[in-house]
Amino acid sequence: MSADTAGIDTLRLTAEEAAGLLERGEVSSAELVAAYRAAIEARDPELHAYLHVTDDEHAGDGGGVPIALKDVITTKGVPTTAGSRILEGYVPVFDSTVAARCKEAGLPLLGKTNLDEFAMGSSTENSGFGPTRNPWDTTRVPGGSSGGSAAVVAAGLAPWSLGTDTGGSVKQPASLCGVVGLRPTWGTVSRYGIVAFASSLDQVGPLAKTVRDCARLYGITAGRDACDSTTVELPAPVELPEREDLRGLRVGVPRELNEVDGIEPGVRERVQEAIRLAEELGAEVGETTLPRSVEYGLACYYLVAPAEASANLARYDGVRYGHRADLNGDGDLTALYERTRWEGFGAEPKRRIMLGTYALSAGYYDAYYGQAQKVRTVIKQEFAAAFEDFDVLLSPTSPTVAFPLGDKVENPLAMYLTDVLTIPPNMAGLPGLSIPCGLSEGLPVGLQILGPQFSENTLFAVGHALERALGFDFVPPRLAA
Ligand code: GLN
């Protein structure tokens, strides 16, 4: 059975229910932490969703609902590796803004979750510390790059977590693990203290079992931060969704986002059913089109993101953080940089650094990076046009359900294609919510709900109404048994 300690069933308990237990004095925060630690001890050895589990001294003295943070989120006194051997042994001396806000809200830190190295990947197999397995089927990936943050929620190893999403890294693992994930509007959540990947795209987002939990955690983390000049004050306070219908809502179904090659039939069927359900709940559903966004989004992303990554990763030089190559007294400073980077970075960051520096080099800059920026503007315009007619757009989050470990590791292009539906809105800086909308071959399917900038409250309202109507059971059957 799944009841852990003090009768707390971490597989089913939502953050909201946990907060209720605390408020009514039915459990203490320490008992909650103990229950999750027991669950971690029992189930994490086979999943490897955590890179680091905190002890009492480092969990903080908060009296709230405990949380897990993706290991790109800087935590004072708690190791932060970004899934990279190059940061092995790095213990930050400061907190990221989001970690500090979680602390201020009283959320004890359970630990740091596994990810693709520097958040580069879609399966968590690029982690420098070994892959995470999907709680629904341990022969499959949990998605990525926030695979650990999705897996801990699905497996009851944390009631909620934070991930980061550059090209889909919250939405896609949420989809593959049957949990809810929000990629917020770019600029709403501080990146101060987040290990940078592609700064014009990176966002921090919550993962949880319910839309209301995601909204709550978004409310804790979002808003202007003086330490990150790209953040803004939220135009409206975060609302916890309550409505159970969708009357008056205009729902657009972008043809290309629903029909691109590679969408599995089971995924398409579940998403079509969810769209019909939206109609039954009172929404007006119509078709729309985003022809160039889907056709060019991925290519555009794979110029912009590696270009920015190549600049952001220049700081790992063996001098200031983590791994330093041992030259045995033989070699100069350049040799130290080269050897450290050769030893410390895995294959994917190396690939991105090469792609990025090439795209940015004199003579190619205009043809690649400059051109990609123009395409990005076109993508923005296409979405803006669609949002003149519709409040939200619906599509699958991922074209496939969770795939077997090892399936795509030898083929970077196949791995990159897993984000074909999440990247276009991200290039436009838009928010997106993924909610589970059923099963295909026994594995969760995610529905992507997209809105214009700062439409998080609308996304929560739509997600909550659909979630209630769908009645998805988020507990993986193999763990419930
Ligand atoms: N899978 C995409 C990539 O590898 C997106 C990753 C992310 O959002 N961090 O770049």
Taking the C-alpha atoms of residue 223 and residue 90, their distance in angstroms, rounded to an integer, is: 28
Q: Which of 194, 419, 427 has most ligand 1 atoms within 8 Å of CB, for mutation?
A: 419
Average pLDDT over every residue of 365-389? 96
pLDDT at 24: 97
- Could you tell me where the beta strands, DSSP code E, fall in 96-178? 109-113, 160-165
Residues present in the chain in total? 481
- Can you spell out the DSSP letters for 38-49? HHHHHHHHHH--
The answer on pLDDT for 481 being more than 80 is no
CA-closest candidate to residue 377, choices 423, 427, 306: 427
Taking the C-alpha atoms of residue 191 and residue 184, their distance in angstroms, rounded to an integer, is: 12
- If DSSP codes are grouped into helix, strand and coil, which group holds residue 456? helix
Stated pTM of the model = 0.97
State the distance from the centre of ligand 1 to the C-alpha of 351, rounded, in angstroms: 13
CA nearest ligand 1 atom 4, residue: 121
The answer on pLDDT for 79 being more than 50 is yes
**Mean of pLDDT over the chain:** 96
* Residue 170 alpha carbon, nearest atom of ligand 1: 8
Residue range 39-48, pLDDT digits in tens: 999 999 999 9
The answer on pLDDT for 1 being more than 70 is no
Residue range 131-161, pLDDT digits in tens: 999 999 999 999 999 999 999 999 999 999 9
State the distance from the centre of ligand 1 to the C-alpha of 123, rounded, in angstroms: 10
Active site members: 70, 145, 169
Residue range 452-464, pLDDT digits in tens: 999 999 999 999 9
- Binning pLDDT at 50, 70 and 90, where does residue 5 land? low
**Residue 123 CB less than 6 A away from ligand 1:** no
Token pair 């795509």 in the structure block, residue: 408
| 349 neighbors 309 (Cβ within 8 angstroms) | yes
The answer on pLDDT for 373 being more than 80 is yes
Residue range 165-185, pLDDT digits in tens: 999 999 999 999 999 999 999
**CB-CB neighbours of 236 under 10 Å:** 8
Residue range 435-448, pLDDT digits in tens: 999 999 999 999 99
Q: Which residues contact 274 (CB under 8 A, 6 or more apart)?
A: 394, 437, 438, 447, 466, 470
- Binning pLDDT at 50, 70 and 90, where does residue 320 land? confident
**Residue 223 CB less than 6 A away from ligand 1:** no
pLDDT at 7: 83
Q: Which of 122, 310, 423 has most ligand 1 atoms within 8 Å of CB, for mutation?
A: 122
- Binning pLDDT at 50, 70 and 90, where does residue 240 land? very high
Residue range 252-293, pLDDT digits in tens: 999 999 999 999 999 999 999 999 999 999 999 999 999 999
Taking the C-alpha atoms of residue 259 and residue 326, their distance in angstroms, rounded to an integer, is: 52
- If DSSP codes are grouped into helix, strand and coil, which group holds residue 455? coil
State the distance from the centre of ligand 1 to the C-alpha of 145, rounded, in angstroms: 6
Taking the C-alpha atoms of residue 445 and residue 178, their distance in angstroms, rounded to an integer, is: 7
CA nearest ligand 1 atom 10, residue: 120
Structural domains of the chain in order of their starting residue, each with its CATH number: 4-289+384-480 (3.90.1300.10)
Taking the C-alpha atoms of residue 339 and residue 195, their distance in angstroms, rounded to an integer, is: 22
Average pLDDT over every residue of 420-431? 98
Taking the C-alpha atoms of residue 452 and residue 194, their distance in angstroms, rounded to an integer, is: 25
